[in-house]
Amino acid sequence: MRDVSIIGLGPMGTALARALLQRGARVAVWNRTPAKAEPLVAEGAAPAASVAEAVKASPVVVVCVADYPATFRLLEPGDVAAALAGKVLVQLSTGTPEDARGGQAWAKERGADYLDGAILAVPSQMGRPESTILVSGSETAYRESKALLEKMAGSVPYLGQDVGAASALDLAFLSHLFLGLLGFYHGARLCEAEGLRVADLGAMLASVAPAIGGMIKQDGDVIQAGTYLGSESSLDTCARGLEMIVRQAREARIDGGIPAFAAGLFRKGVAAGLGDESPAAMIKVLRKGG
Ligand code: NAP
């Protein structure tokens, strides 16, 4: 027997398996394209000949493939599903909360204890202090896999038995990340148009990241409390700033689609009479569905 089986050896599954091996875990691996297992086997992993063999090899089975449909294609066949009974199944492929609830129900029907996880890091960070894997679902599955998960990531917060919580927070994080990145890409075009170095913009934003984080945390507290008045900066001020970015795009003849989209939403906030409130009052515009 091994300690843990990793099914899926893309960049992330490989990084998880490697972090486990480097921290002394006995690891079995399986991948649809077998050649990807070879470097890990050279590092001490045991290659499984089939998905069923991988499931049988360890009490804890971690899946990290492209998505949930790919997971089910691998785990549905009868011999695999039968081997899952009594095992802890940890799903680390990215999905929605609904995917996670479906995964839990599917695993329960087959007698497996199910934990759903979301990785907030890139492969090169796995095993390091800055990596996080959020997990939610069965508490017994969490307890049985905790020591292994802590070899894969620096921090493994358990969010409780609501199995959709990890993927919900993951998608909320990705919403912040990707939409923030779009804002950065527009800022990069702005710098290009003004003859400034984009690398300097990146470095400047990295240095102010803790202050931005503080503002986001404050907005979270405001929305949670539902008290939007008395903020240091108003929705009006933010709306005017966005209009300025839209005007600069026109003046510099660059694509202004990203700031125009954001300015349009803030205009709705101003039109709804929320100008004197915290910018967090934009949540009221979103609650109305735009
Ligand atoms: P990926 O391209 O999302 O997944 C590649 C893995 O999925 C490979 O093992 C691939 O097998 C397997 N796969 C895809 N379709 C399959 C199918 N129909 N049947 C069997 N296996 C299938 O790359 P990844 O970066 O390793 O990501 C894995 C998961 O981690 C994803 O859900 C991703 O969202 C999540 N994640 C990734 C990152 C990151 O930075 N990379 C960060 C956080 C979370 P083959 O090798 O045979 O093609």
Residue 184 CA to ligand 1 centre (angstroms): 27
Handedness of CA 162, 164, 170, 171 (dihedral sign): negative
Rounded to the nearest angstrom, the gap between the alpha carbon of residue 37 and the centroid of all alpha carbons in its chain is 25
Phi/psi of residue 27, each to 5°? -120, 135
Alpha-carbon span 285 to 226, nearest angstrom: 14
- Residue after which a domain boundary falls, among 92, 127, 162: 162
The DSSP call for residue 14 is H
- Residue after which a domain boundary falls, among 162, 177, 198: 162
**Cβ within 8 Å of residue 229, ≥6 positions away:** 276, 277, 278
Residue 94 CA to ligand 1 centre (angstroms): 9
From the number of C-beta atoms within 10 Å of its C-beta (0-12, 13-18, 19+), residue 29 rates as buried
Q: Are residues 157 and 278 in the same domain?
A: no
Asked if 136 contacts 160 with a C-beta cutoff of 8 angstroms, the reply is yes
Residues with CB under 6 A from ligand 1: 8-13, 31-33, 36, 64-67, 70, 73-74, 93-94, 119, 122-123
**Cβ within 8 Å of residue 280, ≥6 positions away:** 219, 222, 223, 228, 231
Q: Are residues 185 and 109 in the same domain?
A: no
Share of the chain above pLDDT 70, in %: 100
Query: Which of 78, 7, 3 has the alpha carbon at shortest distance from 37?
Result: 7
Render pLDDT for 87-124 as a digit per residue (tens, 0 to 9): 999 999 999 999 999 999 999 999 999 999 999 999 99
Asked if 54 contacts 27 with a C-beta cutoff of 8 angstroms, the reply is no
Q: Are residues 17 and 133 in the same domain?
A: yes
Residue with CA at minimum distance from ligand 1 atom 8: 10
Residue 180 has, within 13 A of its CA and on its CB side, a CA count of: 13
Alpha-carbon span 48 to 21, nearest angstrom: 16
Q: Are residues 156 and 176 in the same domain?
A: no
Our mutation pick for probing the ligand 1 site, out of 18, 51, 64, counting the most ligand atoms within 8 A of Cβ, is: 64
CA-based angle 132:156:145, to the nearest 5?
Answer: 130
Residue 279 CA to ligand 1 centre (angstroms): 38
Our mutation pick for probing the ligand 1 site, out of 6, 9, 12, counting the most ligand atoms within 8 A of Cβ, is: 12
Q: Is pLDDT of 290 > 70?
A: no
Render pLDDT for 234-258 as a digit per residue (tens, 0 to 9): 999 999 999 999 999 999 999 999 9
Q: Are residues 193 and 257 in the same domain?
A: yes
| Confidence (pLDDT) at 255 | 98
Q: Is pLDDT of 179 > 90?
A: yes
Q: Are residues 136 and 8 in the same domain?
A: yes
Q: Are residues 135 and 149 in the same domain?
A: yes
Residue 53 CA to ligand 1 centre (angstroms): 20
- Residue after which a domain boundary falls, among 132, 162, 192: 162
Render pLDDT for 12-28 as a digit per residue (tens, 0 to 9): 999 999 999 999 999 99
- Report which ligand 1 atom has the smallest distance to the Cα of 118: 44
- Report which ligand 1 atom has the smallest distance to the Cα of 32: 47
Residue 67 CA to ligand 1 centre (angstroms): 7
| Confidence (pLDDT) at 269 | 98
Residue 104 CA to ligand 1 centre (angstroms): 20
pTM: 0.90
Q: Is pLDDT of 185 > 60?
A: yes
Render pLDDT for 260-275 as a digit per residue (tens, 0 to 9): 999 999 999 999 999 9
Average of per-residue pLDDT across 46-55: 98
**Cβ within 8 Å of residue 248, ≥6 positions away:** 190
- Report which ligand 1 atom has the smallest distance to the Cα of 8: 9
Please give the C-alpha separations between residue 207 and each of 20, 90, 202, 219, 234, in angstroms, as whole numbers. Answer: 33, 36, 9, 20, 24
State the chain's mean pLDDT as an integer: 97
Q: Are residues 125 and 20 in the same domain?
A: yes
Asked if 62 contacts 7 with a C-beta cutoff of 8 angstroms, the reply is yes
Domain total in the chain: 2
Residue with CA at minimum distance from ligand 1 atom 46: 33
Residue 88 CA to ligand 1 centre (angstroms): 20
Render pLDDT for 112-157 as a digit per residue (tens, 0 to 9): 999 999 999 999 999 999 999 999 999 999 999 999 999 999 999 9
Q: Are residues 20 and 152 in the same domain?
A: yes
CATH number at residue 24: 3.40.50.720
Residue with CA at minimum distance from ligand 1 atom 16: 70
| Confidence (pLDDT) at 226 | 96
Q: Is pLDDT of 289 > 90?
A: no
Residue 63 CA to ligand 1 centre (angstroms): 10
Residue 271 CA to ligand 1 centre (angstroms): 45
Look up the domain containing 278 and give its range. Answer: 168-288
